[in-house]
Amino acid sequence: MFSVNLHEFKPIQALDCINLNMIIHKYELLPGLIGAEKAVYAEYHTYLKNKGTTIDYAHVDSKNVFEFIESVLARTKNNPMFAFEKESEIEDWLREQWAGSFKDMLRNQKEMVKVDSISKQVTELGSINTTLKHYLETLINRSDTDDTKIIAEESERLKLDQLNSKLMEHTVFTELISKENDITLEGAKEIFKCEDINAFANKASEIFKHTTAEQYIEMWRQTEMINDFNKIRNILLLPPFVLD
């Protein structure tokens, strides 16, 4: 929040370590909560009409105050100016703004859930479409094909695609897959198929050498990460890990 108060403003020229224009440009898309005393804001309009002239302003010590306000208001978005007389007015205004922002956040989260659901459905339809396409191409190209075998193979492939899609919804799984760790999707599955939590900790220690298996076990005792691991195990139809 920017708040311009009476006589409490460092001239822009003194801000050697900060490029004000750069800050304003960088955060132009972020909502700004900008407040100024009513007297200062009223005199700001006098400043706009008398640029280039020398005037002793009644409510500020330097015209740099007005230059600052002008720079902020030059933003193309998110720059509403609130003129206040008392501090209590600022509190009431901030409550209204934050309540609106919170409402927008909840609405956006709801929309993101819908978009995510649609994205998953599209992915599944893509897998089904690939299966049907392969099946039809095989029937056209090979008249002696065993239909039952093709259907069984494509059914298994489709199940595998769906399983992989569910696994990729979990951050704890996707973070394990990387070129840096040289771990593929199938490799990550094998890691989660470890016999017990101790074997899993040993495997994690081999991959991320900066932490021992004992340290991992202790860390997992103090967090809920074991629950995330067991969600992956459940998808893989494996029993949950248990900490002794």
Is residue 115 a part of any domain in this protein? no
Tell me the C-alpha distance between 37 and 44, whole Å.
Answer: 10
For the chain, how many residues are written?
244
Of 58, 84, 110, which one is at a domain's C-terminal end?
A: 84
Asked if the model's pLDDT at residue 228 lies above 60, the reply is: yes
User: Angle, to 10 degrees, between the axis of helix 87-141 and the axis of helix 147-167?
Assistant: 160
Is residue 196 a part of any domain in this protein? yes
Is residue 44 a part of any domain in this protein? yes
Is residue 143 a part of any domain in this protein? no
| Core vs surface per residue 18-56: b (16+ CB within 10 A) or e | eeeeeebeeeeeeebbbbbbeebbebbeebeeeeeeeee
Is residue 152 a part of any domain in this protein? no
Q: Which domain holds residue 76?
A: 2-84
Domain count, the chain: 2
Residue type, 80: P
Q: How confident is the model at residue 180 (pLDDT cuts 50, 70, 90)?
A: low
> Strand, helix or coil at 81?
strand
DSSP assignments along 173-228, one per residue = HHTT-BTTTTB-HHHHHHHHT-SSHHHHHHHHHHHSTTS-HHHHHHHHHHSSHHHH
Of 30, 50, 84, which one is at a domain's C-terminal end?
A: 84
User: 4: which DSSP letter?
Assistant: E
Is residue 165 a part of any domain in this protein? no
Is residue 161 a part of any domain in this protein? no
Q: How confident is the model at residue 139 (pLDDT cuts 50, 70, 90)?
A: low
Q: How confident is the model at residue 143 (pLDDT cuts 50, 70, 90)?
A: low
Residue type, 235: I
CB contact at 8 A, 72 and 79: yes
Summarised one tens digit per residue, pLDDT across range 68-117 is: 888 877 776 666 777 888 888 888 888 887 787 777 787 777 777 666 66
CA dihedral (128, 131, 134, 138) positive or negative? negative
Is residue 145 a part of any domain in this protein? no
Query: Residue 7: phi, psi to the nearest 5?
Result: 65, 5
Q: How confident is the model at residue 154 (pLDDT cuts 50, 70, 90)?
A: confident
Q: Is the pTM of this model over 0.75?
A: no
Looking at residue 98, its pLDDT comes to 79
Of 84, 107, 138, which one is at a domain's C-terminal end?
A: 84
> Strand, helix or coil at 5?
strand
> Strand, helix or coil at 35?
strand
Summarised one tens digit per residue, pLDDT across range 23-80 is: 444 555 556 677 888 888 888 888 888 887 888 888 888 888 888 888 877 776 666 7
